[in-house]
C-alpha cells in the first residue's frame, strides 16, 4: 500500500479529470501521467456502500494486461510497472485497504472476500462465508464485481490472461502441488527446477506455456483444468473456458526474479497466441 500511495503522490497530475457520466469511460475518475511516463486511469467501483479503486496503467487497448488483484502484493505491482515500458502492456490493479481481502458495507453489515475467489458462483459463496457473514444481496454485489472486471477489461477476449502475485516464504509455493501436498489434485504436472526457489513459479492452464516456461528453466505448475477444485479463482474460470492463463508468482521482495519471469513470459507469448490444437 505504501508503495502504491507513493506512486499516486508522485504522480504528475495531467489535471484531466473526467466525470463518470461517459459510457465509454464508465466510472473513470481521473487520468494521470505517472512518473514512469505511463498513463494511470482510475475507476471507482461501488461495492455496496464502499468504494474500491481500479487503477489501470498503460492502455486498455494493449493485448497484454497484467492483473494484480491482491492489494498487499506490492512487489508484483512494482515488477509489472518496471517492465511495462518495454513490453508495451498494461497493468490493472485493485486498490482499497492495502490488505489481501476486500471489505465492504451493505445495509449496515460488513462483508469480506478474497478478490481471487469470486470468478465462479461457488467460489464467491465460499469466500464470503469463510471471512464473514453471507447474504444473497452481498453475493450478488460480489458476483457483479467479478463480472465487471472480466467484461469491462475484456479478460476473456485476450490471447492470454496474466496475473501477478506474491507469497510468503515457507507457505504457498510450487511444492504445494507435488504429490501428497495440499493442492496435488489441482495440478496435472509440476516442474521444479533444481536451482530455483519453489516460492517463485509460474502457474499456467495451458500445456504449451508449461513446456515453454519449463524449457527456460523456471518452476512451472500446470493446472488440471478438468479436476481443479472450484474455489472461484480466475485460473479456474480461464481453465474451464479454455483460455491460456498465467500467474507469475514470487515471494515478496523477489523483485528481480519477478521481472526476469515477466520478461521470459513476454518472450514466449507469441507462441501461444495462436489457437490451441
Ligand atoms: Zn495474490
Q: Is residue 105 part of a domain?
A: no
Pair (93, 170) in one structural domain: no
Pair (182, 250) in one structural domain: yes
Q: How far is the CA of 70 from the centre of ligand 1 (A)?
A: 5
Pair (163, 266) in one structural domain: yes
| Contact yes or no for 222/212 (Cβ under 8 A) | no
**Domain residue limits at 19:** 2-100
Q: How far is the CA of 247 from the centre of ligand 1 (A)?
A: 9
| Contact yes or no for 206/245 (Cβ under 8 A) | yes
- 143-152, 164-173, 249-258: segment of lowest average pLDDT: 164-173
Residue recorded with cell 526474479? 257
pLDDT band at 270 (very low <50, low <70, confident <90, very high): confident
Pair (262, 164) in one structural domain: yes
Q: How far is the CA of 39 from the centre of ligand 1 (A)?
A: 24
Q: Are strands 161-167 and 245-251 parallel, antiparallel or unpaired?
A: parallel
| Contact yes or no for 232/215 (Cβ under 8 A) | no
Average pLDDT taken over every residue of the chain? 87
Pair (75, 171) in one structural domain: no
Instruction: Indicate the helix (H) or strand (E) that contains 239.
Output: helix 234-241
Q: What average pLDDT does this structure show over 74-94?
A: 92
Q: Is residue 50 part of a domain?
A: yes
Residue 36's nearest CA partner among 94, 98, 83, 96 is 83
Indicate if the pLDDT at residue 171 is higher than 90: no
Q: How far is the CA of 68 from the centre of ligand 1 (A)?
A: 7
- State residue 178 phi and psi, 5-degree precision: -70, 155
Q: Is residue 190 part of a domain?
A: yes
Pair (92, 174) in one structural domain: no
Residue recorded with cell 500446470? 222
Last residue of one domain, picked from the residues 75, 100, 125: 100
Last residue of one domain, picked from the residues 100, 117, 145: 100
State how many domains the chain has.
2
Q: Is 19 in a helix, a strand, or coil?
A: coil
Q: Is residue 109 part of a domain?
A: no
Q: What average pLDDT does this structure show over 155-159?
A: 90
Pair (263, 179) in one structural domain: yes
| Contact yes or no for 32/12 (Cβ under 8 A) | yes
Last residue of one domain, picked from the residues 77, 100, 123: 100
pTM more than 0.75: yes
Q: How far is the CA of 111 from the centre of ligand 1 (A)?
A: 19
Predicted confidence (pLDDT) per residue in 202-234, tens digit: 999 999 999 999 999 999 999 999 999 999 999
Q: How far is the CA of 178 from the centre of ligand 1 (A)?
A: 20
Q: Is residue 143 part of a domain?
A: no
Pair (171, 89) in one structural domain: no
Q: Between the CA atoms of 245, 81, 45 and 65, what dihedral angle is there, to the nearest 10 degrees?
A: -30
Q: How far is the CA of 251 from the centre of ligand 1 (A)?
A: 10
| Contact yes or no for 177/184 (Cβ under 8 A) | yes
Q: Is residue 224 part of a domain?
A: yes
**DSSP-assigned letter for residue 258:** H
Q: How far is the CA of 72 from the centre of ligand 1 (A)?
A: 8
Q: Is residue 127 part of a domain?
A: no
Pair (71, 173) in one structural domain: no
Predicted confidence (pLDDT) per residue in 5-19, tens digit: 444 434 433 323 333
Amino acid at each position: 500500500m505504501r508503495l502504491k500511495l507513493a506512486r499516486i503522490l508522485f504522480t504528475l497530475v495531467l489535471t484531466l479529470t473526467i466525470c463518470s457520466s461517459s459510457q465509454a469511460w464508465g466510472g473513470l475518475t481521473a487520468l494521470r501521467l505517472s512518473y514512469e511516463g505511463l498513463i494511470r486511469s482510475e475507476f471507482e467501483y461501488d461495492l455496496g456502500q464502499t468504494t474500491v479503486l481500479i487503477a489501470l496503467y498503460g492502455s486498455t487497448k494493449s493485448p497484454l494486461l497484467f492483473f494484480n488483484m491482491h492489494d498487499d502484493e506490492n512487489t508484483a505491482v512494482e515488477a509489472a510497472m518496471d517492465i511495462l515500458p518495454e513490453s508495451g502492456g498494461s497493468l490493472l490493479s485493485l486498490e482499497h485497504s492495502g490488505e489481501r481481502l476486500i471489505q465492504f458495507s451493505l445495509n449496515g453489515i460488513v462483508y469480506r472476500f478474497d478478490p481471487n475467489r469470486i470468478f465462479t458462483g461457488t467460489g464467491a459463496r465460499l469466500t464470503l462465508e469463510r471471512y464473514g457473514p453471507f447474504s444473497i444481496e452481498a453475493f450478488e454485489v460480489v458476483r457483479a464485481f467479478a463480472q465487471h472486471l472480466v467484461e469491462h477489461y475484456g479478460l476473456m477476449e485476450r490471447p492470454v490472461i496474466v496475473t501477478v502475485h506474491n507469497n510468503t516464504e515457507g507457505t504457498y509455493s510450487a511444492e504445494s502441488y507435488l504429490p501428497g501436498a495440499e493442492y496435488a489434485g489441482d495440478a496435472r504436472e509440476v516442474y521444479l527446477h533444481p536451482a530455483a526457489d519453489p516460492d517463485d513459479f509460474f502457474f499456467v492452464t495451458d500445456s504449451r506455456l508449461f513446456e515453454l516456461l519449463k524449457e527456460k528453466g523456471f518452476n512451472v505448475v500446470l493446472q488440471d483444468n478438468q479436476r481443479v477444485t472450484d474455489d472461484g479463482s480466475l485460473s479456474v474460470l480461464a481453465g474451464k473456458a479454455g483460455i491460456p492463463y498465467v500467474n507469475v508468482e514470487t515471494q515478496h521482495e523477489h523483485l528481480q526474479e519477478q521481472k526476469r519471469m515477466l520478461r521470459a513470459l513476454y518472450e514466449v507469448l507469441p507462441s501461444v497466441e495462436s489457437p490451441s490444437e
